[in-house]
Structures are given as structure tokens and as C-alpha cells.
């Protein structure tokens, strides 16, 4: 007798769960942003709402006085009552327009019955009184008209945002390129290629949702939530744009007490804390807690490393397309990742505020400090003048250092911060601040400053000229040559010596050493273990430790288990979690008590990965009720985790609860229409009904 469809699916799922019993790695919650979303029919969207008094996180513990609690937001208008000049100056800066209502005051795009047609996208823009509308194809492939309720930016590019019936804010496919020809462009198509509705970056999919890809940095006091039962989003914030409290922290208490200790002054913070204020937005990062967890969101004055890890070269298990092969960001908005690896930061301690000012202070373009005319030579630009404060001796050499006569070539930025970083349609300065390395252009297709100006010359000719004028440059160049040899996939087979050299170099940026650890483990598996163990013992940097631990897990390094056990009590929550997950994946029972503690203690129960690992361990024990409970908890915290939804569906089907399994699979496809596992299982369930 042949088994029924549901029975057959249960047998398939049992096989999957049996394989899961031998897992050797944790299901990591993927870096934000995460999976794509569901098709949604076009319908009138609700009017945009902003609750000025809505806190971005649950209220802190009550304070024994009549003032607002620490952590409560006041809104920028409350700040203006005492800081009128600063508020007025901020209003003129682009930070205040990081997100704006789509009214004629803020919309810069041409909505006068205009049309755009790309390779895979087409849109018609029109205006009806104060309403701005875009007609384009939705997730169902049909043309529909979508109201534009918000716009992102407007300095170089302005992105229109529509609000869908389920409460998601979606960035529409066509952007207005302000600094180009003043025209509509498909930014994503230019970067990703032709987009169909099942592509993760198709405009209506979750990957393009503003809640998880934009708003955390483009508003102040974000409070976004998702209702798993109704499949709807609710989004509130204190201020649209990067307002006062984004940099100074929640200020309701300070507005009431007027006590300086109740507000953060970035200028009085340590270098690392001050840099974190800018870094929270100026570089994609992986948050320790999921994006919907307002209670554990970074606040100014806190340590960046306690809440985030910068995304460098690798996004989860995938290689990022936003980096050159030597580890420098090739895409704009990665300024933090670039500056971290600069010698200016590593050796000189430079931070963002070394060259830039606060948005409300007097400044030049891009918040750069205004040069002091008495000290700055006439041929030096405002951008380069900030270099003089640390490099007075080089400035004194003038053309003896630059060996160029043209004014542009005498500018520090031309050689050390060339405009090779792409905004897809614009070029930006490279904040990695290094010497040109023409040999990397020939070997690894990395642009260099010399050939940016001397486009008709070969990289070899530029390398010879550079060595002739600056013989000492060869030493500096070697660093970039080693990094490119280590990271480039073209040289992967022979990269082990370079990767080990980068990993062992204590003068190198921890972020790049961490990439070396991960690639070493992936490419050379068990042969990588000695170098990984040595690096783990030789550093106290939490980012590097986490990456090395991840590498040890990838390499299946059971012999390193005793190295990891002491780290279960490390001061860094990142390190504690990484050690527990890796030990558990290696089958070491010493990790279990730490995982249970992380999953149960109030201050850490919002972490996703411990719940997923505990669920997997329960599957190994065939304790399906516990496994289901842990996966459900993980999804309460990170509802868009499509892989966890599929795992949970499997568990429900095995328990004979096929309807619940079907619900989880349908939810997985709402967030990731490309999930083959979800689609295959769902088809089998439906055919068996």
C-alpha cells in the first residue's frame, strides 16, 4: 500500500530531521537586511503616521523622581526650545532630510507626467495636487498605481517610499538622480541587473522593505513591530530624519531637568564611543539583537562592538559585491568599514570627528571642517585641509612630496582618497586612506589613484613612476598586495600563506584579520586550525575573536574545544554566544548551560541564535515539543527568518499538525518567495489535501 501525500511528506521531513541530528554548524540569524517578501496586491495604503512621543523601546525602569525616565525620547522640537540656533542649523543640513514626507517642500523628483523604461522596470510618475504617484508593476506582475508617502534623502539620490496594506514600507523601483542629469533611474537594476518579481531585490519584496533596510538609520527613535498572527507591520518613530537624539541619545529627561549629565555630548566621549555615534549608520552592520528589538538598540555613548559587527567582505556565507578584492569597500555608505582599516585610524587614532563636524555646527560640504585660511595653502582644498592637522611636515614639503604641478594632483585626496568608490551613479572618496597600488590593478582589477588620472598609462608604468618618486611606498604597498592575494577568489588555491600572514599581523585591522580567519577556514578546513588557534589566543578584540571562533566551527576543530570553554564567560556577549554556538555544533555538552542561560536571562533572551541552537539540540534528542518551543521563540524575535520557518514547519508535520506546518511555510514564502524548500514542502502538503 502506497503512503498518502501527508505521510510521504512526513517521511521526507523525518529524513531531513535525521540529517539535522548530525549538524556541525548553527543556523545563524542572517545579517540585516534579510530575506525577500511576499506578493502584495495594490490597494489604497493607510496615511503615513508619526507618533512624536512614541518611545523606540520599552520604558526603562522607573526613576524615583517626577522626571521622564532615562531612555525616553523628546523629539527635536523639544530640543529647539533651548537650542534654537543648533536646531535651525540642523534643519538646513541633509541629516534632517534623511526621511521626509512626500510633499512639494521635500520632493525633488519630476512628477510632471514623466516616464521611465529600463531593461526590466517601467514607471510613470504623476502628481495630483499634493499627492505624488508612481504607476509600475507590482509583485503580481500587473500594473498598479502606488502613492508615494515618504522620500529618502534628496542630496544625490531621492528614493520614493510607498506604504502597502500590510504596513510594510517599500522603496519603489525608480529613484531620482539629483546629482546626475536630474533624471529617473533604476538604481537596483543598474547594480543587480534585470529584476523579476521573484528576485530578492525586486521592489515589492522584503529585501527592499524600509523597515529592515532603511528606517533604523533614516529616522530617530524607531519602534517597528510585526504581528505574526495578522501578518502586519506597525511602524512608529520620534522624528523623521537623523535628528538630535540620534547623536545625543534619548533626551526627554534632559529636556525636563536641563542637567548636562542627562544627555550625551559626542565631543566628550572617548574616541571609540564618539566614532560609534557616526558608525551606527555609516556602514552596514550585523546587529547582535534583531532589528525589531527596540529594548536592545544601540544608543549614543555606548560601545559599537557591544551591539554591532561591521559587515566586511562577507555577508553570512556569501561574498559581498560591495568590496574590492583587497578588502576596501567599493560602494558608498561603507565609510566606517573603510576608516577602520586606514593607517590614520589604526596608528593615528583618527575618527570621523577628526575631519567632520556635527550637522548643526558650521561646516563645509559633507560636514567637513572649514579650513583655517591662515594655515591652509591656496592650492589645498577644504577636504584636504583636515589632513594638515596631523601631517604638517608633509604639507611643508609641497611639490617636493607630490611631484605634481597640477593643483588637483597636489590635493591629498587625489592620491590617498581617490574617487573610486561607487554610488552606482556617482563616485566618492575612498575612506581607507592608503597609498596607490597599481600592481593590484593589473593582478586583481582593483582601481588605483594613479590610473584614475593617468587613464592612458598602464598600471605597470604607473608602478614604475611611483617607485621612482617614492621608493618607501613599496613597503606600504605590500600590505594591499598581501590582502588582495589573500582575499581574491582568483588566487584562492594559493592564498593560504597570505591569509595566515594577514591573520597573524597584529598591526592589521581586526576586521580584515577576521575575514582572513573565515576564508582560511572555508578554503583550507582542518589545515587552518593551528593558525586559528594561535590567533584566538593572541587577541582580546571581540570582533576578531568572534570571527576566529566562527572559523573554528567551519573547520570542525574539535581539538580547539578546550580553547573555547573559557570564552563561555567572556566579557563580550558576541564572544560568549559564538563560543557556545560553536561548541554546541561540535557536540560539546559544556555549551548547553551557557546556551540555556543566554536564552532565559532577561538581558539576553532576545538573542535569536541560542534559541535556534537549543531547538536543533532538542531535535537531536527527538524532543520535538522543546524544539518547537525554541523555534517559535526565535521567530517571535526574528519573524522574517525563512529558514527557521521551514525547520519549524517540518517539526509540525512530523507531529501530525500539517495545518500549522502549512501556515509556517506560507509565512516563509511571504518573506522569501525564492525558498525552494518552502515551496516544495508546501506543494506536497497541498497535493495531499
Most confident range (mean pLDDT) of 98-107, 372-381, 397-406 is 98-107
CB 282, CB 242: distance < 8 Å: no
CA distance 383 to 355: 8
Residue 55 pLDDT more than 80?
no
Residue with more model confidence, 37 or 106: 106
Q: Which stretch of 392-406, 499-513, 561-575 has the lowest confidence by average pLDDT? A: 392-406
Q: Write down the pLDDT at residue 395.
A: 85
Residue 42 pLDDT more than 50?
no
Residue 3 pLDDT more than 80?
no
Q: What are phi and psi of 535, to 5 degrees?
A: -65, -40
- CB within 8 Å of 612: residues ≥ 6 apart: 26, 27, 29, 630, 631, 634, 644
pLDDT tens string 463-485 = 999 999 999 899 999 999 999 99
* DSSP state at residue 100: E
CB 139, CB 205: distance < 8 Å: yes
Residue with more model confidence, 164 or 9: 164
Residue with more model confidence, 65 or 567: 567
3-state secondary structure 190-205: HHHCCCCCCCCCCCCC
Rg (CA), the chain: 26
In the chain the domains, ranked by start, together with CATH numbers, are 5-37+496-687 (1.25.40.10), 76-262 (no CATH), 272-434 (no CATH)
User: Where does the pLDDT of residue 56 fall: very low under 50, low under 70, confident under 90, or very high at 90 and above?
Assistant: very low
User: Where does the pLDDT of residue 41 fall: very low under 50, low under 70, confident under 90, or very high at 90 and above?
Assistant: very low
CA distance 599 to 291: 18
User: Where does the pLDDT of residue 432 fall: very low under 50, low under 70, confident under 90, or very high at 90 and above?
Assistant: very high
Residue 86 pLDDT more than 90?
yes
Q: What is the mean pLDDT of residues 2-19?
A: 53
Residue 30 pLDDT more than 50?
no
Q: Write down the pLDDT at residue 396.
A: 85
- The angle that helices 609-620 and 642-654 make with each other, rounded to 10 degrees, is 30
Q: What is the mean pLDDT of residues 22-51?
A: 39
Nearest to 286 by CA among 264, 317, 332, 240: 317
Residue 53 pLDDT more than 50?
no
- CB within 8 Å of 210: residues ≥ 6 apart: 150, 152, 161, 168, 169, 170, 171, 218
Q: Write down the pLDDT at residue 61.
A: 53
Residue 282 pLDDT more than 90?
yes
Q: Write down the pLDDT at residue 5.
A: 53
Residue 27 pLDDT more than 80?
no
User: Where does the pLDDT of residue 662 fall: very low under 50, low under 70, confident under 90, or very high at 90 and above?
Assistant: very high
Q: Write down the pLDDT at residue 520.
A: 98
Count of helices and strands (H, E) across the chain: 32, 20
Q: What is the mean pLDDT of residues 100-118?
A: 96
Q: Write down the pLDDT at residue 371.
A: 75
Q: Write down the pLDDT at residue 6.
A: 54
User: Where does the pLDDT of residue 26 fall: very low under 50, low under 70, confident under 90, or very high at 90 and above?
Assistant: very low
Q: What is the mean pLDDT of residues 10-31?
A: 47
Q: Write down the pLDDT at residue 408.
A: 82
Give the torsion sign (CA, 216, 220, 223, 226).
negative
Q: What is the mean pLDDT of residues 504-510?
A: 98
Q: What is the mean pLDDT of residues 278-284?
A: 96
Q: Write down the pLDDT at residue 51.
A: 39
Q: Write down the pLDDT at residue 219.
A: 97
Residue 314 pLDDT more than 70?
yes
- CB within 8 Å of 558: residues ≥ 6 apart: 586, 587, 588
Q: What is the mean pLDDT of residues 509-532?
A: 98
Q: Write down the pLDDT at residue 373.
A: 62
Q: Write down the pLDDT at residue 23.
A: 41
Q: Write down the pLDDT at residue 673.
A: 87
Q: Write down the pLDDT at residue 145.
A: 98
SS3 374: coil
Q: Write down the pLDDT at residue 190.
A: 84
Amino acid at each position: 500500500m502506497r503512503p498518502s501525500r501527508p505521510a510521504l511528506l512526513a517521511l521526507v521531513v523525518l529524513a531531513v530531521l535525521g540529517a539535522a541530528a548530525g549538524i556541525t554548524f548553527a543556523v545563524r540569524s542572517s545579517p540585516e537586511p534579510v530575506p525577500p517578501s511576499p506578493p502584495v496586491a495594490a490597494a489604497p495604503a493607510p496615511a503615513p503616521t508619526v507618533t512624536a512621543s512614541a518611545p523606540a523601546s520599552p520604558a526603562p525602569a522607573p526613576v524615583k523622581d517626577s522626571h521622564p525616565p532615562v531612555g525616553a525620547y523628546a523629539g527635536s522640537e523639544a530640543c529647539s526650545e533651548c537650542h534654537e540656533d543648533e536646531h535651525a542649523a540642523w534643519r538646513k543640513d541633509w541629516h534632517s532630510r534623511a526621511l521626509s514626507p512626500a510633499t512639494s517642500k521635500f520632493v525633488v523628483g519630476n512628477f510632471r507626467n514623466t516616464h521611465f523604461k529600463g531593461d526590466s522596470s517601467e514607471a510613470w510618475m504623476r502628481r495630483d495636487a499634493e499627492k505624488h504617484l508612481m504607476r509600475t508593476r507590482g509583485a503580481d506582475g500587473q500594473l498598479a498605481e502606488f502613492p508615494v508617502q515618504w522620500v529618502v534623502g534628496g542630496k544625490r539620490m531621492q528614493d520614493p517610499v510607498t506604504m502597502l496594506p500590510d504596513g510594510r514600507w517599500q522603496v519603489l523601483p525608480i529613484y531620482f538622480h539629483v546629482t546626475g542629469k536630474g533624471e529617473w533611474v533604476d538604481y537596483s537594476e543598474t547594480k543587480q541587473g534585470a529584476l523579476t518579481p521573484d528576485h530578492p531585490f525586486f521592489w515589492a519584496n522584503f529585501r527592499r522593505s524600509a523597515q529592515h533596510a532603511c528606517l533604523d538609520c533614516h529616522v530617530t527613535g524607531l519602534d517597528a513591530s510585526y504581528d505574526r498572527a495578522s501578518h502586519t507591520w506597525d511602524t512608529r518613530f520620534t522624528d523623521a530624519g537623523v535628528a538630535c537624539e540620534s547623536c545625543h541619545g534619548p533626551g526627554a529627561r534632559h529636556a525636563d531637568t536641563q542637567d548636562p549629565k542627562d544627555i550625551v555630548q559626542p565631543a566628550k566621549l572617548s574616541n571609540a564611543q564618539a566614532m560609534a555615534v557616526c558608525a551606527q549608520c555609516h556602514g552596514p552592520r550585523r546587529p547582535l539583537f534583531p532589528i525589531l528589538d527596540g529594548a536592545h538598540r544601540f544608543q549614543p555613548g555606548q560601545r559599537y562592538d557591544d551591539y554591532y559587527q561591521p559587515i566586511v567582505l562577507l555577508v553570512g556565507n556569501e561574498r559581498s559585491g560591495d568590496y574590492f578584492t583587497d578588502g576596501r569597500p567599493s560602494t558608498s555608505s561603507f565609510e566606517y568599514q573603510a576608516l577602520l582599516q586606514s593607517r590614520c585610524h589604526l596608528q593615528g587614532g583618527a575618527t570621523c570627528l577628526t575631519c567632520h563636524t556635527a550637522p548643526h555646527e558650521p561646516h563645509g560640504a559633507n560636514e567637513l571642517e572649514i579650513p583655517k585660511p591662515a594655515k591652509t595653502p591656496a592650492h589645498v582644498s577644504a577636504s584636504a585641509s583636515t589632513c594638515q592637522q596631523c601631517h604638517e611636515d608633509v604639507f611643508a614639503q609641497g611639490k617636493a612630496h607630490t611631484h605634481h604641478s597640477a593643483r588637483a594632483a597636489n590635493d591629498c585626496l587625489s592620491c590617498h582618497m581617490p574617487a573610486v568608490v561607487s554610488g552606482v551613479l556617482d563616485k566618492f572618496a575612498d575612506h581607507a586612506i592608503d597609498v596607490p597600488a597599481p600592481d593590484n590593478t593589473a593582478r586583481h582589477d582593483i582601481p588605483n589613484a594613479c590610473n584614475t588620472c593617468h587613464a592612458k598609462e598602464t598600471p605597470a608604468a604607473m608602478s614604475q613612476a611611483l617607485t621612482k618618486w617614492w621608493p618607501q611606498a613599496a613597503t606600504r604597498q605590500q600590505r594591499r598586495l598581501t590582502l588582495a592575494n589573500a582575499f581574491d577568489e582568483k588566487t584562492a588555491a594559493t592564498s593560504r600563506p597570505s591569509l595566515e600572514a594577514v591573520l597573524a599581523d597584529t598591526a592589521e585591522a581586526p576586521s580584515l584579520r577576521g575575514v582572513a580567519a573565515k576564508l582560511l577556514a572555508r578554503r583550507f578546513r582542518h589545515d587552518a586550525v593551528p593558525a586559528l588557534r594561535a590567533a584566538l589566543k593572541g587577541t582580546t578584540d571581540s570582533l576578531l575573536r568572534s570571527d576566529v571562533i566562527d572559523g573554528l566551527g567551519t573547520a570542525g576543530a574539535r581539538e580547539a574545544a578546550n580553547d573555547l570553554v573559557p570564552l563561555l564567560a567572556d566579557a563580550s556577549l558576541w564572544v560568549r554566544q559564538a563560543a557556545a554556538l560553536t561548541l554546541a555544533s561540535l557536540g560539546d555538552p559544556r555549551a548547553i548551560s551557557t546556551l540555556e542561560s543566554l536564552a532565559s536571562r532577561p538581558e539576553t533572551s532576545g538573542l535569536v541564535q541560542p534559541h535556534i541552537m537549543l531547538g536543533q539540540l532538542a531535535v537531536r534528542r527527538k524532543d520535538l515539543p522543546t524544539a518547537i518551543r525554541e523555534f517559535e521563540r526565535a521567530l517571535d524575535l526574528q519573524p522574517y527568518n525563512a529558514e527557521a520557518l521551514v525547520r519549524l514547519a517540518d517539526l509540525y508535520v512530523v507531529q501530525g499538525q500539517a495545518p500549522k506546518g502549512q501556515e509556517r511555510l506560507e509565512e516563509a514564502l511571504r518573506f522569501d518567495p525564492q525558498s525552494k524548500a518552502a515551496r516544495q514542502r508546501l506543494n506536497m502538503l497541498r497535493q495531499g489535501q
